[in-house]
Structure 1
Amino acid sequence: MIPAHADFDKTFPFAPHFETVNGFQMHYVDEGDRAREVVLCLHGEPTWGYLYRSLITALCGDYRVVVPDHMGFGKSETPQDRSYWLQDHIDNLEKFVLQLDLNDVTLVMHDFGGPVGMGVTARHPGRIKRIISTNGPTPFGQPDGLERLLKNAGIAPWFQWIVKANEDGSLEQVLGQLGFNILSAMKINGFENHAVISDTWIAAYGGHFSTPRDCLGAIGWAKGFATGVHRFEEPDAAAIAMIRSKPALAIWGDADKTLHADIFLPLFTVLFPGADVHRIPGAGHYCFEDAPDQIADIVKRFLQNS
């Protein structure tokens, strides 16, 4: 776990907050006036709230920006006696949202933050005001959702590696060393902005994963995919109708090697046919690292106009 007050040479200058959620300490950033609308940012694998540092700064003057770290990531605790499946993360986020009583929420979702955020949306559609997907899948009961997921897995190097490593028994060993190979893990997914790489940047992203015991979150997400344990939330018809009526925005780095735009954007636009869609040439899977200012501008315009 990263020390609570670590700011990585002032690149993450946000006060730490902690909430006891389902028996573990969940860290979150909470910046901006608490009376303002909430923007809730959800990270994926193997990142944490650091991914959103530029967006937090860009939005916190006009919104309350809340950025939790999932169990086993960032400054949150990594309990040793827990599973780390998608359902666990949905349960944790639901409890977090209810304990903080967050309403009128704009969700910003990246990577597996997509299915986690959509899972909570299925359970509490009345708390969600807007949906923003940023290189984050939104499988939500669409008829061809599973087919698209399998098609993507067949061409994405990251998912191909996960399946192979699980079969040959090396998955836990490799992902248990993320503190040393974090850059390689991110590069295989599609990371393009090499100019941002520094010792500070590597420490920020690798800092949580100092021992194999600290890597259970990252291992769990990958192993859950390889073994088919993850289960997407299945909303009822009333929830889907409520959610389809909400303003929605998709931002996708076109150089994403793990979640291909041509496969996943149709899942989003079927659910939100009136959504704004922005594809960013040259930006990869970690779009907030590759095009932070461009994304912040798109998000701000969307928030102001919806």
Structure 2
Amino acid sequence: MTAVHHRYATVRGQELFYREAGPAGAPVIVLLHGFPTSSFMFRKLIPELAVRYRVIAPDHLGFGLSAAPSAEEFGYTFDALTELTAGLLQQLGVTRYAIYVQDYGAPIGWRLALADPAAVTAIVTQNGNGYDAGFVEGFWKTVWDYQREQNPETEANIRGALTLESTRWQYLAGEPDEGLVSPDTWHHDFALLSRPGNDAVQLALFRDYATNPPLYPALHEYLRTTRPPVLAVWGKGDPIFGPEGARAFADDVPDAEIHLLDGGHFLLESAGDEVAGLILGFLDRVSAER
């Protein structure tokens, strides 16, 4: 078994938890998790990738085992989370890396790439949108309504996403065999999501998600001009980011590798071995070509 280290670093006065594994001198892949989870979602993937790669998987501030200052103490935005991630990588001496992005990890990854295009060697996106295509309206209408106007009704509706039942739904919706998904996952996430004051943190990020689609034209230009290798591996049953979000990457990177697998938003829970194999094959190929 590959050893996985569980570490903390202080970045800009904030304590960030991260998991790290693999040879120190190996090419780096940074794993960026989504809502409402943490680097816990990568617990099985990290040892598989670390056989050949140095793997770094941080918990975003307010998530997982990282610090969670109140929304009054810290301005939770995707810009701010990106700055902390960039600061962590700088502390670790990482200047070139591939990224794996999922859900909230995607807008953080896109910001990292736009800020330093030469740093990103490859992109793996697993149900991490970079296009208007793929947003499933049934889920997102509640978010969009809350972004447009914060009132008791829209806030009550969006708070539904912070419940145990909603967290469970994110893990099970679209999965052909729900028995493959451990209940530990949603109970673990919900326990951390339920820390006092964390609701305000999550509401702030729901509001700030409105800043992400306006970045897409710059992302698409980056993809067209820089042409990073792209692997889109998607749970095709995801009720949040649908398969069109995966296919859209081929609009700007014609040779993007796109795989639609049976599974949902948290594809690693049911198809982790298949995803790991696709990632390793992809990274090995693009490394050989460069």
**TM class by smaller structure:** 0.7 to 0.9
Is 1:159 paired with 2:149? no
Counterpart of 1:211, as a letter, is R
Whole-angstrom CA distance in 1 between matches of 2:233 and 2:11: 30
2:5 alignment partner, SS class: coil
Kindly state the Cα deviation for residue 69 of structure 1 after the two structures are TM-superposed: 0.7
Identify the residue that residue 278 of structure 1 maps to in structure 2: 259
Please report how far the alpha carbon of residue 210 of structure 1 lies from its aligned counterpart in structure 2 after TM superposition: 3.1
How far did 1:99 drift?
A: 2.1
The count of aligned residue pairs is 276
User: What is the aligned counterpart of 1:258 among 219, 225, 240?
Assistant: 240
Q: Deviation of residue 164 (structure 1)?
A: 4.9
- Which of 34, 39, 46 does residue 36 from structure 2 map onto? 46
* TM-score calculated relative to the size of structure 2: 0.83
- Normalising by structure 1, we get a TM-score of 0.79
Q: Identity across aligned pairs (percent)?
A: 22
Question: Whole-Å Cα distance in 2 between the matches of residues 72 and 207 of structure 1?
Answer: 13
Find the counterpart in structure 1 of residue 281 from structure 2. 301
Tell me the CA shift for residue 27 of structure 1: 0.7
Alpha-carbon displacement from aligned partner over 1:215-269 (angstroms, at most 9, x marks no partner): 44433322323xx35563775999556631x22211111101111112x234412
Displacement of 1:290: 2.5
5 Å-filtered alignment, 1:104-253, equals 104-139=96-131, 145=132, 148=133, 152=135, 155-164=136-145, 167=151, 168=153, 169-170=155-156, 173-174=159-160, 178=163, 180-181=164-165, 183-184=167-168, 186-187=170-171, 190=174, 193-198=177-182, 200-225=184-209, 228-230=210-212, 232=215, 235=218, 243-244=226-227, 246-253=228-235
Q: 3-state DSSP class of the match of 1:131?
A: strand
What code does the residue aligned with 2:215 have?
A: F
- Structure 1 vs Structure 2 CA RMSD: 2.8
Distance 1:14 1:204 in 2: 19
Between stretches 188-197 and 94-103, larger displacement belongs to: 188-197
Does the CA-based 8 Å contact 2:172-2:181 persist in structure 1? no
AA at the equivalent of 2:170: M
Unaligned runs of 5+ in 1: 1-12, 140-144
Find the aligned partners of 1:78 and 1:189 in 2 and give their Cα distance: 28
Q: How far apart are the structure 2 equivalents of 1:134 and 1:236?
A: 17
The answer for unaligned runs of 5 or more in structure 2 is none
Residue of structure 1 in register with 2:23 after alignment: 33
Partner of 1:284, secondary structure, is coil
SS at structure 1 position matched to 2:260: strand
Equivalent-residue separation in structure 1 for 2:68 and 2:156 (angstroms): 21
Q: CA distance change for structure 1 residues 117 and 253 in 2, over 3 Å: closer, same or farther?
A: same
Corresponding letter in the other structure for 2:32: L
1:5 alignment partner in structure 2: none
Rounded to whole Å, the distance in 2 between the matches of 1:237 and 1:258 is 21
